[in-house]
Structure 1
């Protein structure tokens, strides 16, 4: 009796074994400590102080305020907390316990800037590894000894193997190496790794995992302890949206956030992308911000919700949250303790955990409600459907049609009595043209011939059927699935006819794109093999070395173009970040080997400014426009290719201009249509440009004159 009211008011949080209750919010970033404790660090820029607050399992805190000090990174082991602190351009290693009773300072550096990346790791008692940008140091607090290990360290790539042995990544002349360091003295190059934007290295289930991150995907390499390559594969999501973690004591799996049909899902797959488990999230969940692994649990943070799963993707708890736009640029940290859960952006939110004894009752009750209410509503709708007149039924059907679908309603004589806007466009009439005449009266255009044939077939057969037809309207040829329905009374006599069509042109286009994407994905393995073989060629001369480097460079470019096709077929999201327009143009120009175009002069007229764009997508668009220009000048003795970037108060403009053969009016008017090509190609290059600019909310402006040249302009909003 007492349980029933609470069940009737159950919400989705009650459907799972653990319930979170918010206890407090504290400004600052959260760090996990040993002994089931955590610390919140708040750097106050106004009064130049830093507040450290240590919490125990009862969420009681003890605080310490440091004047003229900023905490840059923090590491905890046993009872000692070690932190990198800066004050007046000097960096210190400071150590204290959780009661702040021990506080020792060691000077590390006397020239530290506010933008320097400082991180700390402990290798053994009194010994630490500290990184500053691309420098890696070993520091012995007992001997007060500081030793530089490398000045070409790659951030986030330190991995402790034992107290006297660790790995890290080092760059050298555009090549990345996995380095083994023993006793902080002896170095050994173990592996050569492909260039990437960033890296992660880890050991899980006795396997070494090296992750090479790019703009929108990652290349994963799995090795044994003896550095034998076990597996390699690509993950087509950004590195914040996937994890490689143990499924059990032996196997590893890929946990990832995917987006399909306006919904997010959390998916567990093996290395061959066979789906082991998948959890589909409600369609109101938005903006994934990170996926985290802690103590055999997976936590996924979205802008408006947190989900926690076990390693089989069974939900442990769910909590609605609200992360503001101003917090989105702050790095998210989480702590998942048996008694509490906490996460931080700008502020730290702390929740207590309680067991939900009746969660299965709530779950099955809500599941039952989810089915019984739609079923009840369906029965009501069926009754209304039966009772309403046929005219109202047809009008309701008209209102439900999308803008791309057409519908014609006829009486039993074949007179047109109702029509929607799309159908009007197809037969080229407007609302001023009266209805009520035989359908042939309206089918005067040549492109309506197939439509009238189906109408006649429907009247002769007096049966319902479907058929594909092609209709030319809006200056394009569209393909429709056409449905013909004969409406009858209960007695069987014909009341009228309904002719409707669903536009499947875009669906077919997307299917073609997906086929291209799958083909490109299969090609990546072959390109990787080609690249590795080219890299391992032994050069016998400087000329051979140059040729080898050119082969590798062109394979890299071809590999990127393959990824272009994958992206066109699969990616609909835009990942914007701040980029420099002049650098972006320069990087596009660098991709082209000038020796292949001796007849063309490349000119960079870009202005120096910054804007928020998806660099990978915009670079693809500019690169494809550049390739089109180069093709147009292949027969020219004095080709001139100009790339520009400039802006005004509202828009940024990226322009590619050539003095090639130009385009005819027909080509110019049709070049941005799907798959249009004037050179026997696939039209994918233009599709890549169009998709990239549309996803930025911009437009493409084409200026061309036959025999004089072409200018392609990408107009992108700055806000």
Structure 2
């Protein structure tokens, strides 16, 4: 068993360690960093260009090389110009640069030789931040937006000829409508945007009014134009979908994301998929929705990212994958929202503006104006193995652990329940369970009653703190001995509580764990007072049997003296006979307790029983006590002498409870379908709740003068139990006591 536990423990540690570095189909490794400029790549020729900002202390503003090994690197300083934007067009480097407020269009070849340098605009009155967009139509024709002016460039041999197409363009794109190239232009007005679709000749074919907002992007998917605009006050992005065939807006909705955290792709079924990164105070989630029938969002799916992932930077769709950039992570997922790449990368501290992302030759290029970084994008050959380990660690291992926890919990619960049941059994005696430091962890009612620990007193303290009563000093010393020696010990201890002596046999034993260390202690005690008393009573019964002969002889001789007519002798003989009768009843009580528990059933009646009982009470002896009988007569089977003895003892107890010997005893009987009832009721002092709890305790007596031995009630209870009956005691302080003896009608079948 121990070997199995060790193997399982080793397996769990291995799985947890292996799954800690979760892997996916793709992984990246850092290859090249460019901390001082923007890196561009001509993927057709693998020509790289690094364009640096115009720092006065930097001589090399533009560099180029072929391949990733940086060989044949060429660097140049284009002079006193401020580079605003850089593009790759047909394998050449395009720079938009300012010189004395004039915007230059500069074209350089792969060796940084100047091909074109055109002054296309004066930006003296332009806003503080200039906006530039370049969209190629073919190898000889492209469009360039400078702020709100749209230029058309057509290349004639090595020279570009340009013209202004429009001067109020907020955003644009080259689209295809009815298999013909066209321009989609957005013009911004104070309270709305206007979409215009025109052919390359500048003829407007149709236009639509759109909601107001800062236009961010125009994308085409078949016959749909997706126009996104940023609503600054609402901190959200508006998506408007234009159906080119119907020439109307078929869908419009807001997304609570920045425009850079929204991306689109076209699914195999022709529908457009919308992906976004939702970020709030509680979590970051990746969400996917599908635009169906140009107008309805369906198939919503979402996953929550790990809490360690920080603020999102951008989301783009490249090479059939969504790439989500965060300040400290790069995540890629497919159109089914299955994670393909999940790597820790510190992007936030390097990229101050929203970067561009490009994939080429198994490389991932992330670039911005002041910083660029190239990562190796590789297939992870062991991703399925690591995914399996991740699955096992995420689902199987917890299930196995839960199963083990459940098994051990059920064993613990079973043992705990068994221990609780054993503790609460009356036959278990006094029981206290301690932890290894000696503090009480469980205690039963018998122990609480003995030590005087009420239910409201908190446990979990050292057991010695609860030995506060004087009579527990010997028991306290016994427990200290057990705690010091860690051995099983037993001892008989006499405890005197409330002027009564109780004899106990105590045992103190350590509880050992499977490892051999002590995990607790058990203190157990049995009250043997009743057993000892029964043994003593048995001896008394034998003595009483012998005494009956002597008492009979005294009584016979006294009766002979009674025949002599002498007044003085008659008085004395009356007293002798009365005392002899009392002694005989005492002896019969002792014999009754000491005899075997065997019933001798005879047929009798309630009337006979009451007549014989009342006949034992001489009115001259009890002149102030009235015994009233109001009974219903019935026949029954019982042990007649024993039942008479029980009822007589109940009457005697009632007489003792009547102050100044003045009062009455009411005897009643009745029957129902199951029981015969005998009621003995007095108008004595009655009992409070505390006394009622003790009245059935063997040998308990309320006698203050030592004349009682606690046998009367014990005999009543014993006789009732022998008859398989029940004893009910009802009493109220100051009003009297009522005893009801119930004898079952089917006693003959029970006594067989």
With normalisation by structure 1, the TM-score equals 0.48
With normalisation by structure 2, the TM-score equals 0.46
Structure ID, larger Rg: 2
